[in-house]
Structure 1
Amino acid sequence: MNTETHCKALAQFIESFRHDLHRFPELSSQEFQTTGKIRQALESAGVRVLNLQLETGLVAELGKPHQGPLVVLRADIDALPINEQSGVEYVSQHPGVMHACGHDFHTSAALGAALLLKQSEDALPGRVRILFQPAEETGVGAAQIVKSGALDGADVIFGIHNDPLLPIGVVGSKADALTAGVDRFEILVTAKGGHAAIPQESNDPVIITGQLITAIQTLVSRNISSNDNAVVSITQVHSGNTWNVIADSAYLEGTVRTFSPPVRQKIEQRLRQVISGMAQAFDAGIELRWHAGPPSVLNSAEWVDFSLQVAEGEGFKSRRIEASPIGEDFSYYQQKIPGAFMMVGSGGPYSLHHPKFRVDDRALFPTARYLAALARQSLAQLAAASPQVDVA
């Protein structure tokens, strides 16, 4: 089979593979069948899968074991609790579960890269590990992969995410913060309920909650410089259950998005101060439950430049893009080793996490080739920078 025919067959295979993943999506930490399908495809092609302590997800490796530099590629595999309305022929067969963020695309592109690298495995001047990571949407999967030891000894990591705001054929990224740090907060107000006709006998949690909402809106506008970016959004407010009763409690929930550790710390600190002051002022119990999520993706400038150059060499147009307030647990890997996270145009028109979201298949095989080229060329650069040595 000549090269052109083989590439065509591989492109068709990974497209079919993606459609199958899309039909049978699985939620975070429940990706058992997805993991099995990836393992079967890799092992059928002779790609070794590392024996790591992972309930879902897996790590593949190519190249000679324990030799040369180690480059890591990452793809995520989980889906979202969304009822699909995309209208594609391969629509989800699991009601209420959908690949609405394109992780089926990421997984299939990474699988394609593994199969492309397998063709020239003996010529690799080092090793490539490919992380098929679970539970990105819940923000816990990357930490599980790190704990498994999959990054031990690695030199650099690359990741991709499809971007429906970019046209097909465009790869975008930027140095430093590319995505936001993501935190979730819950606030429980405990006061004193009573009859709505005699509010003076109560300590109305709705009034306290209204004051809290107003104060929370000043966390950014009156504490964060206009040179920095941050978002605080309250997304749920609940209190009471009927028209003539003042409730005993109220509940708020929301999210904070920041792009630097100092700003992240300052907003949490000021929120705690606001809540403490409100509790004293209104003689009420106000409890903050702070759930720290992934920090910002912080890209290495050197590896962003490298990744965009490789993209251009593979026929993509490169673009320097703005930071995005979305969250991404790829950032946990960058706390261990340097790397770059790249956005790949997927054609739109619907945004990530939309029930009508879809990825254009024409972007799939070029992305697989791009990932394979990133691995090969970064290995070559790392090997040239230092003599190859065996790793015990």
Structure 2
Amino acid sequence: MTFRQQLINWRRELHQHPELSGQEVETTARLRHWLAGAGLRLPQYPLSTGVVAEVGKGEKVIALRADIDALPIEESSGVDFSSGNPGVMHACGHDVHSSVMLGAALLLKEHEKQLPGRVRIIFQPAEENFTGAKAVIKAGALEGVSAIFGMHNEPGLPVGTFATRGGAFYANVDRFVIRVRGKGAHAARPHEGNDAILLAGQLVTALQSIASRNISTLESVVVSVTRIQGGNTWNVLPESVELEGTVRTHQPPIQRQVEKRIRELAEGFATAFGAQIEVEWYAGPTTLVNDEKWAAFATRVAQDTGYSTQTADVHMGGEDFAVYLKTIPGAFVSIGSASEFGLHHPAFNPDEALIEGAARYFASLAEQALIEN
């Protein structure tokens, strides 16, 4: 079996058996089996799921990272290796990322004696709920690491295309829940109540004005209300409505300004309507900030490996890799996967042609980073 086909087979097996964040037990077992079978060392870290492998010797340590969890999505891609777990799918391509880093591990193992240090390959659990990177760091898997590199497939780029940028790349991700409490009433006698739905609707409209009227148009910011829940029948005005949504920014001052404005609007509407409005704020992963040196280095290696390279646009999605980059320097990159459907779509179907090339790229990147560092 060719190297390319082996990686594709592994990817397809992972794709058929997806597991949600923190539940990647079978995925972990498969990865451990494949890595151990290839002769990789598997240092023991206190992780309930996820695997860490290592190759080489010496004091210098460079890390590579893949994510391994899936999403609560029912697959509709139509591929003959579709998910066998109902309601769970690798709709973000973490199966692809894992196969890429498996390939890099195998290539590095082939010339382990020539490596000027160690490469630690981290197969991280729970990226989708933003808890995995913190668990990996707490377990000690970054100890001694001087730089770390990771990837995400990019369905909007052709296979053979590479993109990254120095500085802010992926966004800070915050989640908010707003609970509006008015007074219920018969739908035919609204004047006897305090319509929580009317208030919630106007609040949604006001929230959309934050990005366009309170923040400079030169800044990147998104405020999205993604869930509205209230009422349980057609002829009753409900007493309460709950809104949920997300805020995406790249600069901490803008993040703080948006949160402040949301709270001000909620307080103002509560006063104006004689209602109660409660805002709960959940801070997600911070902005992913690539080290300028390592982003430029990663791009040069990509060019040498045969990729068509470009500077990536800022990304409004979140990425747990950001937590690593607050601890040690490194770079996160995009590799083209040419899928008709985007990330988190039930028909997402990345082109497997990217896998072998990306594996060879990361093996080369890790080896050259050991020399550069």
| Most deviating of 276-285 and 155-164 | 276-285
Please, which runs of 5 or more residues in structure 1 have no aligned partner?
1-7, 383-392
Aligned to 1:249: 240
The answer to whether residue 26 in structure 2 is matched with residue 33 in structure 1 is: yes
Q: Among residues 283, 287, 291, which one is paired with 2:282 in the alignment?
A: 291
Which residue among 188, 193, 206 is the counterpart of 2:197?
206
CA RMSD of aligned residues (A): 1.2
Aligned twin of 2:217 = 226
1:158-197 matches, within 5 Å, as 158-197=149-188
SS at 1:154 equivalent:
coil
Q: Distance in 2 between matches of 1:198 and 1:94?
A: 49
Using the TM superposition, give the Cα deviation of residue 100 of structure 1 relative to its aligned residue in structure 2, in angstroms: 0.9
**Counterpart residue type for residue 309 of structure 2:** S
Aligned to 1:5: none
Amino acid across the alignment from 2:14: L
Shift of 1:315: 1.2
Match of 2:35 in 1: 42
Correspondences of 1:241-320 after superposition (within 5 Å): 241-320=232-311
| 1:244 to partner: Cα distance | 2.1
2:238 equivalent to 1:238: no
Equivalent position of 2:113 in the other structure: 122
Moved more, 248-257 or 206-215: 206-215
- Mapped pair 1:68 → 2:54: no
For residues 17 and 240 of structure 1, the distance between their equivalents in structure 2, rounded to whole angstroms, comes to 47
Q: Secondary structure at the match of 1:52?
A: coil
> Counterpart in 1 of 2:15?
22
The whole-number CA distance in structure 2 between the counterparts of 1:187 and 1:290 is 9
Q: Deviations for 1:216-269, whole angstroms, at most 9, x for unmatched residues?
A: 112211221111010001111122122221111011111111111111111111
Q: Which residue of the partner structure matches residue 137 of structure 2?
A: 146
* Equivalent of residue 217 in structure 1, options 208, 211, 214: 208
Q: Alignment identity in percent? A: 49
Residue identity opposite 1:339 in structure 2: G
Q: Specify the SS of the correspondent of 2:144.
A: coil
Give the distance between the partners of 2:312 and 2:26, measured in 1 at CA. 36
Question: What secondary structure does 2:2 align onto?
Answer: helix
- Corresponding residue of 2:44: 51
Deviations 1:300-351 (A, max 9, x none): 1111110011011111111112111111110000000111110001121111
Counterpart amino acid of residue 302 in structure 2: A
Q: 3-state SS of the aligned residue for 2:150?
A: strand
Given the two structures, how large is their TM-score scaled by the length of structure 1?
Answer: 0.93
Structure 2 gap ranges (5+) = none
Counterpart of 2:214 in 1: which secondary structure?
Answer: coil
* CA displacement at 1:198 relative to structure 2: 2.3
Task: Give the stretch that moved more between structures: 245-254 or 8-17.
Answer: 8-17
Runs of 4+ residues over 4 Å off in structure 1: none
Paired residue secondary structure (1:222):
helix
Give me the TM-score of the superposition, normalised by structure 2. 0.97
Q: Which residue of 2 aligns with 1:107?
A: 98
SS at match of 2:279: strand
Deviations 1:19-71 (A, max 9, x none): 1001111111111000001001111111111111111101111111xx32211
Structure 1: how far apart are the matches of 2:227 and 2:268? 22
The one-letter code sitting in structure 1 at the alignment partner of 2:9 is S
